A and B are shown apart, each in its own frame.
Chain A
Amino acid sequence: MENNFLFNPDENRNYQMTKVLDCNAYTKKFGVTLSEADALTLMESRSATLRDQQRVEFGEGILPKIISAFCDSAYIYQDNYLDMLQTLQDIFYLYKNESLDELSDDELIKYMREEFEGKCQGSLEYLEDTSLAEFARAIRKRSHGFLGKKEEE
């Protein structure tokens, strides 16, 4: 509750940018870093994705977690780093919705990372359209979120 400044849109953006840029200290040993312009692009992309996916985000956002999970990937290097992060962020919010919010952020990121490195071999298309689609279907199938379904069982 102390972080009331986070609810001022400009201050919130600055705070999140700082958090994203702070990740450079950790990611530079893997040969990937973000410039301020990159961080701003990611912030804008985040706002657009949240709007598209009809979600509201509080706090520092998901990007620092995505960065720390994917920065050491064999398929990510400086040239594709920004594009990859943008797409991973889009995929993340899409599948938060597709999994009916039954997964925590950490669970979803962990699964994304495992599939990206394994079956997908660095293909974001495969990750989005095949791996995560199957995963989300499986989650929806056993979801108890719908009351009627729970009572039937």
Chain B
Amino acid sequence: MNNLICRYTVQELLPVVSFLSEKFTGRESTSVTYERANQLMGAVIYCINKNPDAQTFKSAQSAYTKGYKLLVEKVKSTKALFEQIQEEFISFGNRAYYETVTKGMPAFFIKYDPRFNPLNKVLTLDYPTIIPVHNLEGVDAIHQYLLYISLEQDFLKAFAGSDIERVLAGYHPQYEDLFINLAQIIYRNVIGCLIADKNILDLQLDSGDLEEIKKFLKDKTKSELVNNIHVLTEVMVKKSFENNRDLLEYLWADGNDFCAEIINARENNCLESIFYICNN
């Protein structure tokens, strides 16, 4: 709420808050608590800010009314996006992934209150996406989160489920119970496959491949590595994912951390903690 900025003055916003307060109390109470007034003021500003052309409206009330309509539309489009994801959603056995998407999202659409509390995300979004959505509020956060989940699903579904589960089990035997991002782990192994010149769809690396990776990484500075891995990611997205730029941007959000971890692993001679070796 404190981060919300609005072009209208408090004086102009108060009548809208009063209108909303009347609706909230059903005209049965002339006063509300500070917390409630703060929440309602947040709701008004959030809706007004939904308007790309809020400054063209004569009053804060008309900007709010239009913004509220846009907010309801966004909830509808977010629900449609969720239903589309839900149809073929695969959690690969990870409980946080399953519960956040399959159980949490329907609860969001039941409990979300666009009129009086639109800033509330309702969900804790336990499954972490590569790019966090903590800086967003309400349905904006959920919509962005679902867009990321959709990108992840597109990415993960390119591989066989059994291969993904094998790599995840290599990451941690109890990967099902961890709050980890699955796409990030698979992406890192795909990069390993590309460096070792293996078929990325197999997600198979052996100890010989690890030697290849070590050779590739030898004497590379972090900036060189960042450039190389970015090129490899671009190649992967171009060849296997119809040059989906959103996917590239999403996966590459992990790029700098990934390179730092590789350099650390190289120095400590433990690259197998990033690129999982298949023992069969």
**What mask results when residues 52 to 93 of chain B are scored 1 for a CB within 8 Å of chain A, else 0?**
000000000100000000000000000000000000000000
Q: Is the CB of B28 within 8 A of A104?
A: yes
Give every chain B residue within 8 A of A7 (Cβ-Cβ).
11, 14-15, 18
Known A-B contacts A54-B34, A93-B31; the reply to A1 vs B19 at CB < 8 A is yes
| In the assembled complex, A55 has its CB within 8 A of some CB on chain B | yes
Our pick among B15, B30, B36 for the contact of A4 (Cβ within 8 Å) is: B15
| In the assembled complex, B280 has its CB within 8 A of some CB on chain A | no
Give every chain A residue within 8 A of B36 (Cβ-Cβ).
101
Give every chain A residue within 8 A of B22 (Cβ-Cβ).
58-59
Give every chain B residue within 8 A of A59 (Cβ-Cβ).
18, 22, 30
Shortest Cβ gap from B66 to chain A (Å): 15
Shortest Cβ gap from B26 to chain A (Å): 8
Known A-B contacts A7-B14, A7-B18, A8-B11; the reply to A58 vs B30 at CB < 8 A is yes
Measured in the bound complex, the distance between the Cα atoms of B61 and A56 in whole Å is 20
Interface size on A, residues (CB 8 A): 23
Interface size on B, residues (CB 8 A): 20
Shortest Cβ gap from A34 to chain B (Å): 19
Q: Is the CB of B18 within 8 A of A58?
A: yes
Give every chain A residue within 8 A of B34 (Cβ-Cβ).
54-56
Q: Is the CB of B15 within 8 A of A55?
A: no
A-B contact count (CB 8 A): 57
Our pick among B18, B26, B28, B33 for the contact of A55 (Cβ within 8 Å) is: B33
Measured in the bound complex, the distance between the Cα atoms of B11 and A3 in whole Å is 12
Q: Is the CB of A58 within 8 A of B28?
A: no
| In the assembled complex, A97 has its CB within 8 A of some CB on chain B | yes
Q: Is the CB of B29 within 8 A of A101?
A: yes
**What mask results when residues 1 to 43 of chain A are scored 1 for a CB within 8 Å of chain B, else 0?**
1011011100000000000000000000000000000000000
| Closest A-B pairs by Cβ, 4 of them | A104-B28, A57-B31, A58-B18, A56-B37
Can you add 15 more A-B contacts, CB < 8 Å, to A61-B30, A104-B26? Answer: A1-B19, A1-B61, A3-B15, A6-B15, A6-B18, A7-B11, A7-B15, A54-B33, A56-B31, A57-B31, A58-B17, A58-B22, A62-B30, A93-B31, A101-B36
